[in-house]
Amino acid sequence: MNKMINLMIDGIDVKVSQDTSIIEAASSVGIKIPSLCYHQDLLPSAGCGICVVEIEGQPLPKRACCTPVYEGMKVKTNSIELRSLRKMLLEMILADHYVDCPTCISNNKCDLQDLAYIMGVKTEENAPLQTRKPIDESSVSIIRDPNKCINCGRCVTVCNDIQTVYALTTVHRGFESEINTPFSKGMAESTCINCGQCVVFCPTAALTEKTHTEQVWNELLNPAKHLVIQAAPAVRATLGEEFGMEEGSLSVGKMYAAFRKLGFNAVFDTNFTADLTIMEEGTEFVNRFTSGGTLPLITSCSPGWIKFMETFYPDLADNVSTCKSPQQMFGALVKTYYAENKNVNPKDIVSVSIMPCTAKKFEANRPEMQDSGYKDVDYVLTTREIARMIKEAGIDFAKLEDEKADDLMGIYTGAATIFGATGGVMEAALRSAYYLITKENLPSPEIKAVRGMEGIKEAIVDVKGTKVKIAVAHSLGKARELMDRIRQQIQETGKSDYHFIEVMACPGGCVGGGGQPFQSNLAARARRGEALYKEDSELELRLSHENPAVVEVYEKFLKAPGSEIAHKLLHTNYFKRDIMSGDIIEEATHKH
């Protein structure tokens, strides 16, 4: 048990456990010490110095984010000296920051802007010191603008400590120091896997998604085009936040209504193909499990994870499900199944997806993703981008009447909805795999062992006497831990004792994706996930194999899970990538 420490902050008695920092101790009694680089879910980098406080008996102010408390400590968080120190630090940061707030993508969502405003620091008093540096636009997912970077180091901490992707680092020193990729080659020529966690943790707009709203507007306003939209399961739990709703508010019906008002001809959820993924992946698992195939089977929905695997674990590529992600399955079906049924020429279809994710932009642009004969998904927009479009169109989101999705690909189950939270794909897959093996449904569809924010969750599921060992990892650091364990097991005994593994690149799963509303902390991600479990529990259909639209697509078009046409449209293969540049070296698996 941790020793408890008594201290006093601004005259208030505080009791916290040992190793707590002053900033955390203050926050526990409702005192918010001004800070910029500090983030509650990251190790402090002590970069900005804004959080300085006075400690009785100590000659100089200390940074509250990285100073641990001690017994009898007396802290003062505000004084004339502290205010002037903070202002000076902020002035220096602003002098090295490219200020274009009105047109900046982070306007009103920027920690630096907030702080300058509340502290009354003016930019015009500080002549900008900087010469403009080139913007890194090499990546299809993420733009890095060093002119807006304040060197707080949050992105470096997320990229290295939480995601273990090692794409970003602090380079050079002193005034020249900046955040960059190895050999300053740009994000596209690095190990960056496009997860976008750097984007959601960035306090300014130094890291943002590469936006495609202009292109989508042009398509929407072109009467010759037929626009089909799909929204990922996690978007329903976060889109409302962009319009002032509380974290964890579901806005399914309003979301459909907003999409129609924007001018989309057909409105769907990716949930439909999440159910389809379960059919394909569930069948793949049952086949591998019952016929001695390569195990564990590892899920393939998360495009950040896929590129991570291709870069760091190509030796495990055979373990990864051949299923495309739900986004790409949807894209492949829109320009085939949907086009045929609705009598639309697939070349006139513009397929747009709304994703909680920046890596989905990369995925949609992978050259192999054109099995429909066209680019399967034309544009990927993040939750933030579609929210901007809804605002531009002058739609009062909160007042929209609920609408329904279109038919053909518009029905989904609760199993599909929970794809957006860590553990959801596993839970959904087990619900159907159990059925595929036993021809009976689970006594209760809820598998609580795989829910929650624990980094790696493990369980043994009893399928009528057969034990299935499963694990769920979210964040790539945790995925790395799990993959190292599997690698070691394979090296030592020739096989791993896991049967089925879910990996999501982002902490919390897609609800915490890099395309989600900014400033998502882990607690907020958990609340978003709860919203998805709530929708699942309230839906009548909770099992993917009972989705009538999925049954229909197999009857009319795909024949059966794993059929030849299903393989052509819904499955894919993987590559081995260079550990320096992320470039493709060779095929790691072949498409059947």
Partner 1 sequence: MYQEILKKYEPTKDNLIYILHDIQDNDPQHYVSESAVQSVSEYLRIPVNHIYGVLTFYTMYSTTPRGKNVIRLCESPPCYLRGSDNILAKLKNTLGIKTGETTSDGLFTLELCACLGLCGNAPVMMINDDFYGDLTDDKIDQIIHNIREAK
Stretch touching partner 1 by CB under 8 A, among 178-186, 366-374, 399-407, 435-443: 178-186
Q: Of the two residues 192 and 298, which places its CB atom closer to partner 1 in the complex?
A: 192
Regarding 263 and contact with partner 1 (CB under 8 A), the answer is no
Tokens representing 295 are 């195990």
**Residues 557-586 contacting partner 1, CB under 8 A:** 579-580
Regarding 173 and contact with partner 1 (CB under 8 A), the answer is yes
Phi and psi, residue 180, nearest 5°: -155, 175
For residues 74 and 58, is the Cβ–Cβ distance under 8 A? no
Exactly one of 95, 171, 245, 539 binds partner 1 (CB under 8 A); that residue is 171
Q: Of the two residues 90 and 187, which places its CB atom closer to partner 1 in the complex?
A: 187
- Helices and strands in the chain, H and E counts: 19, 19
321 catalytic per annotation = yes
Stretch touching partner 1 by CB under 8 A, among 6-14, 159-167, 237-245, 406-414: 159-167
Closest approach, Cβ 578 to partner 1, in A, equals: 9
**From 284, 427, 502, 535, the catalytic residue:** 284
Closest by alpha carbon to 555, among 341, 406, 378?
341
510 catalytic per annotation = yes
Closest approach, Cβ 324 to partner 1, in A, equals: 30
**Residues 179-198 contacting partner 1, CB under 8 A:** 181-183, 190-191
Regarding 160 and contact with partner 1 (CB under 8 A), the answer is yes
Q: What share of the chain is helix, strand, coil (3-state, %, to 5)?
A: 40, 15, 45
Residue 207: exposure state from Cβ atoms within 10 A (0-12, 13-18, ≥19): buried
301 catalytic per annotation = yes
The amino acid that residue 239 corresponds to is: L
**From 48, 110, 198, 510, the catalytic residue:** 510
Q: Of the two residues 156 and 510, which places its CB atom closer to partner 1 in the complex?
A: 156
Closest approach, Cβ 434 to partner 1, in A, equals: 41
Exactly one of 15, 83, 132, 172 binds partner 1 (CB under 8 A); that residue is 172
The packing angle between helices 271-290 and 326-333, to 10°, is: 110
**From 363, 385, 427, 502, the catalytic residue:** 363
Regarding 588 and contact with partner 1 (CB under 8 A), the answer is no
Span between the terminal Cα atoms of the chain, in Å: 55
Whole-angstrom CA distances from 161 to 164, 166, 256, 280, 455 are: 6, 9, 38, 34, 13
Q: Of the two residues 126 and 170, which places its CB atom closer to partner 1 in the complex?
A: 170
Q: Of the two residues 42 and 278, which places its CB atom closer to partner 1 in the complex?
A: 42
Closest by alpha carbon to 251, among 20, 531, 514, 42?
531
For residues 469 and 463, is the Cβ–Cβ distance under 8 A? no
Checking phi first, is residue 344 left (phi over 0); if not, alpha (psi -120 to 50) or beta? beta
Regarding 167 and contact with partner 1 (CB under 8 A), the answer is yes
* Dist CA 553 CA 268 (whole Å): 15
Regarding 166 and contact with partner 1 (CB under 8 A), the answer is yes
Tokens representing 56 are 């009785």
Active site residues: 281, 284, 301, 321, 360, 363, 368, 510
Q: Which residues bind partner 1 (CB under 8 A)?
A: 160, 166-173, 181-183, 190-191, 579-580
